[in-house]
Structure 1
Amino acid sequence: MTTDTDLHTLTGAYTLHALSYEERALFERHLSACGTCADEVTEFTATAAKLAAAAAVTPRPAMKHQVLHRVTTVRQAAPYVPRTPSAATLRRRLPRLMLAACLAAAAGLGGIAVREHDRAENTAAQEQQARRQTDELIAVLGAPDAVSRRVPLDDGAGATVVVSRTRDKAVLVASDLATPPTGKVYQLWYDQGGTMRPAGVMDADRAHQAVVLSGPARSASAVGITVEPVGGSARPTSAPLAVVTLPV
Protein backbone atom coordinates (compact mmCIF):
# COMPACT_ATOMS: atom_id res chain seq x y z
CA MET A 1 0.00 0.00 0.00
CA THR A 2 1.31 3.44 -0.87
CA THR A 3 1.58 5.76 2.16
CA ASP A 4 1.86 9.54 2.41
CA THR A 5 5.57 9.08 3.14
CA ASP A 6 5.99 7.08 -0.10
CA LEU A 7 4.22 9.81 -2.08
CA HIS A 8 6.80 12.41 -1.05
CA THR A 9 9.47 10.39 -2.90
CA LEU A 10 7.64 10.35 -6.26
CA THR A 11 8.37 13.91 -7.46
CA GLY A 12 11.14 12.86 -9.84
CA ALA A 13 9.21 9.93 -11.28
CA TYR A 14 6.12 12.12 -11.69
CA THR A 15 8.06 14.78 -13.62
CA LEU A 16 9.52 12.08 -15.89
CA HIS A 17 6.03 10.64 -16.51
CA ALA A 18 7.34 7.37 -15.06
CA LEU A 19 4.31 6.61 -12.88
CA SER A 20 1.46 4.27 -13.71
CA TYR A 21 -1.98 5.78 -14.31
CA GLU A 22 -3.12 4.82 -10.81
CA GLU A 23 0.06 6.13 -9.15
CA ARG A 24 -0.15 9.38 -11.09
CA ALA A 25 -3.78 9.98 -10.04
CA LEU A 26 -2.91 9.24 -6.41
CA PHE A 27 0.15 11.50 -6.48
CA GLU A 28 -1.76 14.39 -8.10
CA ARG A 29 -4.31 14.28 -5.28
CA HIS A 30 -1.42 14.41 -2.83
CA LEU A 31 0.28 17.19 -4.85
CA SER A 32 -2.70 19.51 -4.52
CA ALA A 33 -2.22 19.58 -0.75
CA CYS A 34 1.59 19.32 -0.41
CA GLY A 35 3.54 22.52 -0.98
CA THR A 36 6.94 20.81 -0.63
CA CYS A 37 6.22 18.32 -3.40
CA ALA A 38 4.68 21.06 -5.56
CA ASP A 39 7.89 23.10 -5.27
CA GLU A 40 10.04 20.10 -6.24
CA VAL A 41 7.87 19.28 -9.25
CA THR A 42 8.00 22.93 -10.36
CA GLU A 43 11.81 22.95 -10.16
CA PHE A 44 12.14 19.68 -12.08
CA THR A 45 9.73 20.86 -14.77
CA ALA A 46 11.44 24.23 -15.18
CA THR A 47 14.84 22.58 -15.40
CA ALA A 48 13.62 20.16 -18.08
CA ALA A 49 12.31 23.08 -20.15
CA LYS A 50 15.59 24.99 -19.89
CA LEU A 51 17.61 21.91 -20.79
CA ALA A 52 15.42 21.27 -23.81
CA ALA A 53 15.92 24.84 -25.05
CA ALA A 54 19.68 24.48 -24.63
CA ALA A 55 19.71 21.33 -26.77
CA ALA A 56 18.76 23.06 -30.03
CA VAL A 57 21.47 22.59 -32.67
CA THR A 58 21.73 24.25 -36.09
CA PRO A 59 23.06 21.76 -38.70
CA ARG A 60 25.92 22.67 -41.01
CA PRO A 61 24.86 24.16 -44.37
CA ALA A 62 26.55 21.24 -46.18
CA MET A 63 24.38 18.71 -44.34
CA LYS A 64 21.38 19.23 -46.65
CA HIS A 65 23.51 18.51 -49.74
CA GLN A 66 25.00 15.38 -48.13
CA VAL A 67 21.60 14.03 -47.15
CA LEU A 68 20.08 14.63 -50.59
CA HIS A 69 23.08 12.94 -52.24
CA ARG A 70 22.82 9.87 -50.03
CA VAL A 71 19.12 9.54 -50.71
CA THR A 72 20.01 8.68 -54.32
CA THR A 73 22.55 6.03 -53.31
CA VAL A 74 20.87 4.21 -50.42
CA ARG A 75 18.38 1.46 -51.21
CA GLN A 76 14.97 1.96 -49.69
CA ALA A 77 14.05 -0.52 -46.96
CA ALA A 78 10.93 -2.62 -47.24
CA PRO A 79 7.89 -1.21 -45.45
CA TYR A 80 7.57 -2.26 -41.84
CA VAL A 81 4.15 -2.59 -40.29
CA PRO A 82 4.50 -2.52 -36.51
CA ARG A 83 2.02 -4.09 -34.17
CA THR A 84 -0.32 -1.38 -32.95
CA PRO A 85 0.08 -0.93 -29.19
CA SER A 86 -2.94 -0.47 -27.01
CA ALA A 87 -4.05 2.99 -25.95
CA ALA A 88 -3.05 2.19 -22.38
CA THR A 89 0.46 1.22 -23.49
CA LEU A 90 0.86 4.48 -25.42
CA ARG A 91 -0.27 6.54 -22.45
CA ARG A 92 2.18 4.72 -20.25
CA ARG A 93 5.24 4.76 -22.52
CA LEU A 94 5.19 7.74 -24.87
CA PRO A 95 5.35 10.68 -22.41
CA ARG A 96 8.04 8.94 -20.39
CA LEU A 97 10.27 8.28 -23.40
CA MET A 98 9.77 11.78 -24.83
CA LEU A 99 10.76 13.58 -21.64
CA ALA A 100 13.60 11.16 -20.91
CA ALA A 101 15.01 11.81 -24.38
CA CYS A 102 14.63 15.55 -23.85
CA LEU A 103 16.61 15.47 -20.61
CA ALA A 104 19.25 13.18 -22.06
CA ALA A 105 19.83 15.32 -25.14
CA ALA A 106 19.80 18.60 -23.22
CA ALA A 107 22.29 17.33 -20.65
CA GLY A 108 24.73 16.47 -23.40
CA LEU A 109 24.59 12.80 -22.43
CA GLY A 110 22.39 11.53 -25.25
CA GLY A 111 23.41 10.16 -28.62
CA ILE A 112 24.71 12.25 -31.50
CA ALA A 113 22.11 14.58 -33.04
CA VAL A 114 23.19 14.09 -36.67
CA ARG A 115 25.19 11.09 -37.84
CA GLU A 116 27.69 11.44 -40.64
CA HIS A 117 29.03 8.58 -42.71
CA ASP A 118 32.68 9.57 -42.31
CA ARG A 119 32.75 9.61 -38.47
CA ALA A 120 35.92 8.39 -36.77
CA GLU A 121 36.15 4.72 -35.74
CA ASN A 122 35.75 5.58 -32.06
CA THR A 123 32.30 7.08 -32.58
CA ALA A 124 30.56 3.81 -31.66
CA ALA A 125 32.48 3.54 -28.39
CA GLN A 126 31.76 7.17 -27.53
CA GLU A 127 28.09 6.74 -28.30
CA GLN A 128 27.88 3.57 -26.22
CA GLN A 129 29.42 5.41 -23.27
CA ALA A 130 27.02 8.33 -23.76
CA ARG A 131 24.07 5.94 -23.75
CA ARG A 132 25.24 4.36 -20.50
CA GLN A 133 25.49 7.80 -18.93
CA THR A 134 22.06 8.71 -20.28
CA ASP A 135 20.51 5.55 -18.84
CA GLU A 136 22.14 6.29 -15.49
CA LEU A 137 20.86 9.87 -15.52
CA ILE A 138 17.29 8.81 -16.27
CA ALA A 139 17.44 6.02 -13.69
CA VAL A 140 18.43 8.44 -10.91
CA LEU A 141 15.92 11.17 -11.85
CA GLY A 142 13.14 8.63 -12.19
CA ALA A 143 13.96 6.54 -9.12
CA PRO A 144 10.99 6.20 -6.72
CA ASP A 145 13.15 7.40 -3.80
CA ALA A 146 14.76 10.33 -5.69
CA VAL A 147 14.77 13.51 -3.61
CA SER A 148 16.21 16.90 -4.47
CA ARG A 149 17.62 20.09 -2.99
CA ARG A 150 18.20 23.35 -4.84
CA VAL A 151 20.61 26.19 -4.03
CA PRO A 152 21.08 29.55 -5.79
CA LEU A 153 24.45 30.41 -7.31
CA ASP A 154 25.89 33.77 -8.37
CA ASP A 155 24.37 35.83 -11.21
CA GLY A 156 21.03 34.06 -11.17
CA ALA A 157 22.43 30.56 -11.72
CA GLY A 158 21.15 27.62 -9.74
CA ALA A 159 22.06 24.04 -8.89
CA THR A 160 19.75 21.20 -7.93
CA VAL A 161 21.13 17.97 -6.49
CA VAL A 162 19.02 14.85 -6.93
CA VAL A 163 20.01 11.73 -5.01
CA SER A 164 18.73 8.16 -5.00
CA ARG A 165 19.97 6.19 -2.05
CA THR A 166 18.80 2.88 -3.50
CA ARG A 167 20.85 3.49 -6.66
CA ASP A 168 23.69 5.02 -4.62
CA LYS A 169 23.97 7.86 -7.16
CA ALA A 170 23.52 11.63 -7.31
CA VAL A 171 22.84 14.01 -10.19
CA LEU A 172 23.59 17.73 -10.30
CA VAL A 173 21.32 19.79 -12.56
CA ALA A 174 22.73 23.26 -13.25
CA SER A 175 21.01 26.18 -14.94
CA ASP A 176 22.29 29.54 -16.25
CA LEU A 177 25.91 28.77 -15.37
CA ALA A 178 28.42 31.46 -16.28
CA THR A 179 31.27 30.36 -18.54
CA PRO A 180 34.30 29.57 -16.35
CA PRO A 181 37.57 31.47 -16.93
CA THR A 182 39.79 30.33 -19.80
CA GLY A 183 41.62 27.13 -18.88
CA LYS A 184 39.19 26.37 -16.05
CA VAL A 185 36.22 24.04 -15.51
CA TYR A 186 33.61 23.48 -12.84
CA GLN A 187 34.49 20.39 -10.81
CA LEU A 188 32.14 18.41 -8.58
CA TRP A 189 33.04 16.88 -5.24
CA TYR A 190 31.53 14.57 -2.65
CA ASP A 191 32.03 15.66 0.96
CA GLN A 192 32.88 12.43 2.75
CA GLY A 193 33.54 12.96 6.44
CA GLY A 194 35.04 16.39 5.83
CA THR A 195 37.23 15.17 2.94
CA MET A 196 36.36 16.32 -0.57
CA ARG A 197 36.35 13.40 -3.02
CA PRO A 198 36.47 14.14 -6.82
CA ALA A 199 33.13 13.35 -8.49
CA GLY A 200 33.59 14.58 -12.05
CA VAL A 201 33.90 17.76 -14.10
CA MET A 202 31.26 19.73 -15.99
CA ASP A 203 31.15 20.83 -19.63
CA ALA A 204 32.55 24.36 -19.67
CA ASP A 205 30.54 25.26 -22.79
CA ARG A 206 27.07 24.49 -21.42
CA ALA A 207 25.04 26.88 -19.31
CA HIS A 208 22.40 24.20 -18.67
CA GLN A 209 23.43 20.63 -17.98
CA ALA A 210 22.83 17.57 -15.85
CA VAL A 211 25.77 15.50 -14.61
CA VAL A 212 25.76 12.09 -12.93
CA LEU A 213 28.39 12.32 -10.21
CA SER A 214 31.00 9.58 -10.35
CA GLY A 215 31.34 7.27 -7.39
CA PRO A 216 28.90 6.22 -4.64
CA ALA A 217 26.66 8.80 -3.00
CA ARG A 218 25.60 6.77 0.04
CA SER A 219 28.62 7.64 2.20
CA ALA A 220 28.65 11.35 1.25
CA SER A 221 26.95 14.15 3.15
CA ALA A 222 27.16 16.96 0.57
CA VAL A 223 28.13 17.92 -2.98
CA GLY A 224 30.53 20.79 -3.67
CA ILE A 225 31.32 22.82 -6.79
CA THR A 226 34.68 24.51 -7.35
CA VAL A 227 36.56 26.10 -10.25
CA GLU A 228 39.59 24.01 -11.22
CA PRO A 229 42.12 23.72 -14.07
CA VAL A 230 40.93 21.86 -17.18
CA GLY A 231 41.04 18.13 -16.48
CA GLY A 232 40.20 18.57 -12.82
CA SER A 233 42.20 18.43 -9.60
CA ALA A 234 42.87 15.72 -7.04
CA ARG A 235 41.95 18.20 -4.27
CA PRO A 236 40.07 21.51 -4.38
CA THR A 237 42.31 24.47 -5.23
CA SER A 238 39.65 27.17 -4.81
CA ALA A 239 36.87 28.07 -2.42
CA PRO A 240 33.63 26.28 -3.27
CA LEU A 241 30.99 28.15 -5.24
CA ALA A 242 28.40 26.08 -3.39
CA VAL A 243 28.12 23.14 -1.03
CA VAL A 244 24.77 21.36 -1.25
CA THR A 245 23.84 19.09 1.64
CA LEU A 246 22.50 15.85 0.21
CA PRO A 247 18.78 15.40 0.83
CA VAL A 248 17.75 12.34 2.80
Structure 2
Amino acid sequence: MITADLHRMTGAYALHALPDDEREAFERHLADCEPCAQETAELTATAVRLGLAVSAAPRREMRQEVLQRITGVRQDAPGGPAPARSGRTVLRARLLSRWALAACLAGAAALGGTAVWQHQRAEDASNQARRAEQRTDEIAAVLAAPDARARAASLGGGATGSVVVSRSQDRAVFVVSKMAHPADGKVYQLWFNDGGAMRSAGLMDPGRSDQTVLLRGAVDGASGVGVTVEPAGGSKQPTTTPVALLNFPT
Protein backbone atom coordinates (compact mmCIF):
# COMPACT_ATOMS: atom_id res chain seq x y z
CA MET A 1 0.00 0.00 0.00
CA ILE A 2 1.48 3.35 -1.07
CA THR A 3 1.30 6.60 0.89
CA ALA A 4 -1.00 8.20 -1.67
CA ASP A 5 -3.58 5.51 -0.97
CA LEU A 6 -3.44 6.28 2.76
CA HIS A 7 -4.14 9.97 2.18
CA ARG A 8 -7.40 9.03 0.46
CA MET A 9 -8.72 6.94 3.37
CA THR A 10 -9.77 9.75 5.73
CA GLY A 11 -13.47 9.59 4.79
CA ALA A 12 -13.73 5.80 4.98
CA TYR A 13 -11.90 5.80 8.32
CA ALA A 14 -14.22 8.46 9.78
CA LEU A 15 -17.20 6.26 8.83
CA HIS A 16 -15.58 3.06 10.23
CA ALA A 17 -15.70 1.55 6.74
CA LEU A 18 -12.13 0.23 6.47
CA PRO A 19 -11.23 -3.46 6.87
CA ASP A 20 -8.99 -4.28 9.82
CA ASP A 21 -5.70 -4.39 7.90
CA GLU A 22 -6.28 -1.05 6.16
CA ARG A 23 -7.57 0.55 9.38
CA GLU A 24 -4.41 -0.48 11.25
CA ALA A 25 -2.18 0.81 8.43
CA PHE A 26 -4.08 4.12 8.31
CA GLU A 27 -3.85 4.58 12.09
CA ARG A 28 -0.08 4.16 11.91
CA HIS A 29 -0.02 6.74 9.12
CA LEU A 30 -2.37 9.04 11.05
CA ALA A 31 0.05 9.37 13.96
CA ASP A 32 2.63 11.05 11.69
CA CYS A 33 0.40 12.95 9.23
CA GLU A 34 -1.07 16.17 10.63
CA PRO A 35 -3.17 17.01 7.52
CA CYS A 36 -4.82 13.58 7.58
CA ALA A 37 -5.38 13.82 11.34
CA GLN A 38 -7.14 17.17 10.98
CA GLU A 39 -9.21 16.06 8.00
CA THR A 40 -10.25 12.87 9.80
CA ALA A 41 -11.32 14.80 12.88
CA GLU A 42 -13.36 17.22 10.79
CA LEU A 43 -15.04 14.41 8.85
CA THR A 44 -15.80 12.56 12.10
CA ALA A 45 -17.47 15.66 13.56
CA THR A 46 -19.45 16.11 10.33
CA ALA A 47 -20.60 12.49 10.43
CA VAL A 48 -21.80 12.97 14.00
CA ARG A 49 -23.73 16.10 13.01
CA LEU A 50 -25.39 14.32 10.08
CA GLY A 51 -26.30 11.34 12.25
CA LEU A 52 -27.90 13.50 14.91
CA ALA A 53 -29.78 15.47 12.26
CA VAL A 54 -31.67 12.37 11.09
CA SER A 55 -32.06 10.59 14.42
CA ALA A 56 -35.60 10.11 15.74
CA ALA A 57 -36.74 9.36 19.29
CA PRO A 58 -39.91 7.34 20.06
CA ARG A 59 -42.99 9.36 20.90
CA ARG A 60 -43.24 10.26 24.59
CA GLU A 61 -46.88 9.03 24.63
CA MET A 62 -45.97 5.50 23.49
CA ARG A 63 -45.27 4.06 26.95
CA GLN A 64 -48.55 5.36 28.39
CA GLU A 65 -50.50 4.05 25.41
CA VAL A 66 -49.06 0.54 25.88
CA LEU A 67 -49.88 0.57 29.60
CA GLN A 68 -53.46 1.68 28.91
CA ARG A 69 -53.99 -1.06 26.35
CA ILE A 70 -52.71 -3.71 28.77
CA THR A 71 -55.32 -2.71 31.37
CA GLY A 72 -58.06 -3.10 28.74
CA VAL A 73 -57.26 -6.79 28.03
CA ARG A 74 -59.52 -9.06 30.11
CA GLN A 75 -59.42 -12.82 30.52
CA ASP A 76 -62.72 -14.63 29.89
CA ALA A 77 -64.07 -16.46 32.95
CA PRO A 78 -64.82 -20.21 32.51
CA GLY A 79 -68.56 -20.83 31.94
CA GLY A 80 -70.99 -23.71 32.35
CA PRO A 81 -72.91 -25.06 35.35
CA ALA A 82 -70.98 -26.76 38.15
CA PRO A 83 -71.49 -30.53 38.43
CA ALA A 84 -73.34 -31.95 41.46
CA ARG A 85 -71.00 -32.93 44.32
CA SER A 86 -71.39 -34.90 47.56
CA GLY A 87 -70.98 -33.34 51.01
CA ARG A 88 -67.51 -34.89 51.46
CA THR A 89 -66.46 -33.63 48.08
CA VAL A 90 -67.68 -30.14 48.95
CA LEU A 91 -65.77 -30.18 52.26
CA ARG A 92 -62.58 -31.33 50.52
CA ALA A 93 -63.04 -28.66 47.90
CA ARG A 94 -63.44 -25.97 50.57
CA LEU A 95 -60.27 -27.10 52.36
CA LEU A 96 -58.38 -27.17 49.11
CA SER A 97 -59.78 -23.75 48.25
CA ARG A 98 -58.46 -22.33 51.52
CA TRP A 99 -55.01 -23.76 50.87
CA ALA A 100 -55.16 -22.47 47.32
CA LEU A 101 -56.24 -19.04 48.56
CA ALA A 102 -53.35 -18.92 51.05
CA ALA A 103 -50.92 -19.96 48.31
CA CYS A 104 -52.33 -17.35 45.96
CA LEU A 105 -52.04 -14.64 48.60
CA ALA A 106 -48.44 -15.60 49.30
CA GLY A 107 -47.71 -15.67 45.58
CA ALA A 108 -49.44 -12.34 45.10
CA ALA A 109 -47.31 -10.79 47.85
CA ALA A 110 -44.15 -12.08 46.19
CA LEU A 111 -45.33 -10.96 42.78
CA GLY A 112 -46.29 -7.61 44.23
CA GLY A 113 -42.74 -7.12 45.48
CA THR A 114 -41.41 -8.16 42.09
CA ALA A 115 -43.81 -5.81 40.35
CA VAL A 116 -42.68 -2.90 42.53
CA TRP A 117 -39.04 -3.72 41.78
CA GLN A 118 -39.78 -3.99 38.05
CA HIS A 119 -41.70 -0.72 38.14
CA GLN A 120 -38.77 1.02 39.81
CA ARG A 121 -36.38 -0.43 37.25
CA ALA A 122 -38.69 0.74 34.45
CA GLU A 123 -38.89 4.22 35.96
CA ASP A 124 -35.09 4.37 36.30
CA ALA A 125 -34.68 3.28 32.67
CA SER A 126 -37.29 5.82 31.58
CA ASN A 127 -35.51 8.61 33.46
CA GLN A 128 -32.17 7.62 31.96
CA ALA A 129 -33.72 7.60 28.48
CA ARG A 130 -35.19 11.08 29.04
CA ARG A 131 -31.83 12.41 30.21
CA ALA A 132 -30.06 10.82 27.23
CA GLU A 133 -32.67 12.28 24.87
CA GLN A 134 -32.22 15.71 26.43
CA ARG A 135 -28.43 15.51 26.05
CA THR A 136 -28.82 14.42 22.43
CA ASP A 137 -31.14 17.36 21.75
CA GLU A 138 -28.68 19.78 23.37
CA ILE A 139 -25.75 18.36 21.38
CA ALA A 140 -27.78 18.56 18.16
CA ALA A 141 -28.68 22.19 18.91
CA VAL A 142 -25.00 23.10 19.13
CA LEU A 143 -23.89 21.10 16.08
CA ALA A 144 -26.77 22.34 13.94
CA ALA A 145 -26.55 26.00 15.01
CA PRO A 146 -25.98 28.36 12.05
CA ASP A 147 -22.96 29.89 13.79
CA ALA A 148 -21.38 26.56 14.81
CA ARG A 149 -17.63 26.54 14.20
CA ALA A 150 -15.28 23.54 14.52
CA ARG A 151 -11.58 23.11 15.17
CA ALA A 152 -9.81 19.76 14.87
CA ALA A 153 -6.50 18.49 16.18
CA SER A 154 -4.48 15.31 16.56
CA LEU A 155 -4.37 14.16 20.18
CA GLY A 156 -1.49 11.71 19.81
CA GLY A 157 -1.50 7.94 19.69
CA GLY A 158 -3.74 7.97 16.62
CA ALA A 159 -6.54 9.82 18.45
CA THR A 160 -8.25 12.82 16.91
CA GLY A 161 -10.47 15.43 18.49
CA SER A 162 -12.71 18.28 17.41
CA VAL A 163 -14.38 21.03 19.38
CA VAL A 164 -17.55 22.64 18.01
CA VAL A 165 -18.68 25.97 19.47
CA SER A 166 -21.91 27.92 18.98
CA ARG A 167 -21.75 31.43 20.37
CA SER A 168 -25.51 31.86 20.00
CA GLN A 169 -26.10 28.72 22.08
CA ASP A 170 -23.17 29.61 24.39
CA ARG A 171 -22.32 25.90 24.44
CA ALA A 172 -19.55 23.66 23.11
CA VAL A 173 -19.28 20.01 22.08
CA PHE A 174 -16.15 17.85 22.14
CA VAL A 175 -15.90 14.99 19.61
CA VAL A 176 -13.11 12.44 20.02
CA SER A 177 -12.15 9.32 18.08
CA LYS A 178 -9.76 6.46 18.93
CA MET A 179 -8.79 7.90 22.32
CA ALA A 180 -6.93 5.44 24.57
CA HIS A 181 -8.78 4.29 27.66
CA PRO A 182 -7.50 5.86 30.90
CA ALA A 183 -5.88 3.62 33.52
CA ASP A 184 -8.08 1.88 36.10
CA GLY A 185 -9.43 4.34 38.63
CA LYS A 186 -8.82 7.28 36.27
CA VAL A 187 -11.06 9.37 34.02
CA TYR A 188 -10.62 12.05 31.37
CA GLN A 189 -11.91 15.41 32.61
CA LEU A 190 -12.76 18.34 30.35
CA TRP A 191 -11.93 21.94 31.26
CA PHE A 192 -12.83 25.36 29.93
CA ASN A 193 -9.73 27.52 29.55
CA ASP A 194 -10.72 30.91 31.01
CA GLY A 195 -7.64 33.00 30.31
CA GLY A 196 -5.34 30.43 31.87
CA ALA A 197 -7.73 29.47 34.69
CA MET A 198 -9.28 26.04 34.20
CA ARG A 199 -13.02 25.54 34.86
CA SER A 200 -14.44 22.01 34.97
CA ALA A 201 -16.59 21.13 31.95
CA GLY A 202 -17.50 17.56 32.92
CA LEU A 203 -16.17 14.02 32.61
CA MET A 204 -15.79 11.72 29.62
CA ASP A 205 -16.91 8.08 29.60
CA PRO A 206 -13.77 6.07 30.51
CA GLY A 207 -15.12 3.00 28.72
CA ARG A 208 -15.49 4.59 25.27
CA SER A 209 -12.75 5.60 22.85
CA ASP A 210 -15.20 7.31 20.45
CA GLN A 211 -17.66 9.75 21.97
CA THR A 212 -19.41 13.09 21.63
CA VAL A 213 -19.59 15.11 24.84
CA LEU A 214 -21.56 18.25 25.59
CA LEU A 215 -19.31 20.42 27.73
CA ARG A 216 -21.00 21.13 31.05
CA GLY A 217 -21.81 24.78 31.53
CA ALA A 218 -21.76 27.84 29.31
CA VAL A 219 -18.76 28.83 27.21
CA ASP A 220 -18.99 32.28 28.85
CA GLY A 221 -15.99 33.78 27.07
CA ALA A 222 -13.66 30.80 27.48
CA SER A 223 -10.88 30.62 24.90
CA GLY A 224 -10.53 26.84 24.61
CA VAL A 225 -10.89 23.38 26.09
CA GLY A 226 -8.38 21.10 27.80
CA VAL A 227 -8.38 17.41 28.72
CA THR A 228 -6.58 15.96 31.75
CA VAL A 229 -6.41 12.56 33.42
CA GLU A 230 -7.97 12.72 36.89
CA PRO A 231 -9.02 10.29 39.65
CA ALA A 232 -12.42 8.66 39.13
CA GLY A 233 -15.09 11.19 39.99
CA GLY A 234 -13.02 14.12 38.76
CA SER A 235 -11.13 16.94 40.48
CA LYS A 236 -11.92 20.54 41.39
CA GLN A 237 -8.74 21.68 39.62
CA PRO A 238 -6.45 19.88 37.15
CA THR A 239 -3.91 17.64 38.87
CA THR A 240 -2.00 16.52 35.75
CA THR A 241 -0.55 18.06 32.61
CA PRO A 242 -3.24 18.31 29.89
CA VAL A 243 -3.16 15.53 27.32
CA ALA A 244 -4.92 17.90 24.90
CA LEU A 245 -5.50 21.63 24.56
CA LEU A 246 -7.67 23.05 21.78
CA ASN A 247 -8.42 26.72 21.21
CA PHE A 248 -12.00 27.54 20.29
CA PRO A 249 -12.51 28.54 16.66
CA THR A 250 -13.17 32.22 16.04
- Range into which the TM-score falls when normalised by the shorter chain: 0.5 to 0.7
Q: Secondary structure at the match of 1:159?
A: strand
Counterpart position of 1:99: 51
Counterpart position of 2:223: 221
- Deviations, residues 38-60 of structure 1 (Å, cap 9, x unaligned): x98874433465x69xxxxxxxx
Mark the CA change 1:143 to 1:40 in structure 2 (over 3 Å): closer, same or farther.
Answer: farther
CA distance in 2, matches of 1:182, 1:99: 31
Counterpart position of 1:132: 134
Match of 1:239 among 238, 241, 245: 241
User: Matched residues, percent identical?
Assistant: 46
8 Å Cα contact 1:160/1:173 also seen in 2: yes
Mark the CA change 1:178 to 1:40 in structure 2 (over 3 Å): closer, same or farther.
Answer: closer
- The alpha carbon displacement at 1:158 in A equals 1.0
- The alpha carbon displacement at 1:218 in A equals 3.1
Mark the CA change 1:150 to 1:126 in structure 2 (over 3 Å): closer, same or farther.
Answer: same
Alignment of 1:24-103 (within 5 A): 43-47=41-45, 99-100=51-52
Q: Which has the larger radius of gyration?
A: 2
- The alpha carbon displacement at 1:146 in A equals 0.4
- The alpha carbon displacement at 1:121 in A equals 2.6
8 Å Cα contact 1:174/1:207 also seen in 2: yes
Aligned positions, number: 154
8 Å Cα contact 1:40/1:148 also seen in 2: no
CA distance in 2, matches of 1:240, 1:46: 23
8 Å Cα contact 2:45/2:162 also seen in 1: no
Which letter does structure 2 place at the counterpart of 1:125? N
CA distance in 2, matches of 1:144, 1:40: 22
Alignment of 1:156-195 (within 5 A): 156-195=158-197
Mark the CA change 1:216 to 1:47 in structure 2 (over 3 Å): closer, same or farther.
Answer: closer
Structure 1's consecutive aligned runs of 4 or more residues displaced over 6 angstroms after TM superposition are 39-42
- Deviations, residues 112-144 of structure 1 (Å, cap 9, x unaligned): xxxxxx544311111111111000001101110
Task: Provide the aligned C-alpha RMSD in A.
Answer: 2.8
Which letter does structure 2 place at the counterpart of 1:45? L
Counterpart position of 1:151: 153
Unaligned 5+ residue runs, structure 2? 1-36, 59-117
Q: Secondary structure at the match of 2:157?
A: helix
8 Å Cα contact 2:38/2:154 also seen in 1: no
CA distance in 1, matches of 2:40, 2:156: 21
CA distance in 2, matches of 1:164, 1:230: 29
TM-score (normalizing by structure 2): 0.56
Mark the CA change 1:42 to 1:204 in structure 2 (over 3 Å): closer, same or farther.
Answer: closer
Counterpart position of 2:199: 197
Unaligned 5+ residue runs, structure 1? 1-38, 53-97, 112-117
- Deviations, residues 173-201 of structure 1 (Å, cap 9, x unaligned): 00000010000010000011221000000
8 Å Cα contact 2:42/2:150 also seen in 1: no
